[in-house]
Amino acid sequence: MPLDTWFPLAVYYHDLSDSALHKAALTKAILDLEASGSEPRNFPEMAWTGDLHGVERIHTDPRFSWLVSQVESHVINYLTELGLDLSQVDCYIQRAWPVVSRPQQEVGPHSHNTAHVSAVYYVAVPESGSDAAGCLTFFDDARPNEVSPGLGSENTDIVATWNYLNQDQALYLPTEGRLIIFPAKQRHGVTPNHTEDLRISLSFDIVLTAAPGHAAGAYEFLMPPPTHWRRFGNHRSS
């Protein structure tokens, strides 16, 4: 008796071949940015994230140009695999920021609701390839196979065997030099860093718009190009 499964989450990953050559320079640049950022806004158990501390435009910083070009190339690969006609789409890096996780720090579950595609790159990972430094975790909020809501709750033992049909999360081991790309709307987080060293990564948010001259219904589903927008005049109170 066949049992079909449909509607998979598409998560792309690639190990960048030149990552070791850039590790030291990227690490120094990130730690310098952390030191020069605004006053800490995170709790002790939370990793330092640049987007909460005024450091969210590393895509305009020449120290990160190698990685920016890699992100752009692999996002194109990802979107191509999803079947998009890229001649009708423009892609923009909207934000990009560093994340520094010290011992026992984590990144709580969240989504990137202002973007369409997100990417994370692991610059430095203690015990690379193991779960000790904290796993990137994707959460299945839809749970299409949870036939009765709450069956998988931690308050019950009704699910006897966890498998690919009922799993409610997927974990990716932190691997140095790896780039991971996924839909920005997908809720995700990072488990605690249980090592004595830093886990350092870079996050990117990408936005898709319709390419100029390709309206033909696309504006119903994609934002028009920013060049077509008009900003309000001076509406702020003095």
Task: Determine contact, residues 104/194, Cβ cutoff 8 Å.
Answer: yes
Tens of pLDDT, residue by residue over 120-158, are 999 999 999 999 999 999 999 999 998 888 888 878 888
Number of H helices, E strands in the chain: 2, 10
Tens of pLDDT, residue by residue over 66-122, are 999 999 999 999 999 999 999 989 999 999 999 999 999 999 999 999 999 999 999
Q: Read off the amino acid at residue 108.
A: G
Question: Over 90: is that where the pLDDT of 27 sits?
Answer: yes
Residue from 14, 192, 194 nearest 108 by CA: 192
pTM (two decimals): 0.93
Q: What is the DSSP letter of 87?
A: G
Task: Determine contact, residues 91/207, Cβ cutoff 8 Å.
Answer: yes
Which domains are seen in the chain, by residue range? 12-144+157-221 (2.60.120.620)
Rounded CA-CA distance 219/43 in Å is 41
CA 53, 56, 61, 67 torsion: positive or negative?
positive
Average the pLDDT over each of 32-41, 188-197, 215-224 and give the range with the smallest value.
215-224
Q: Read off the amino acid at residue 52.
A: L
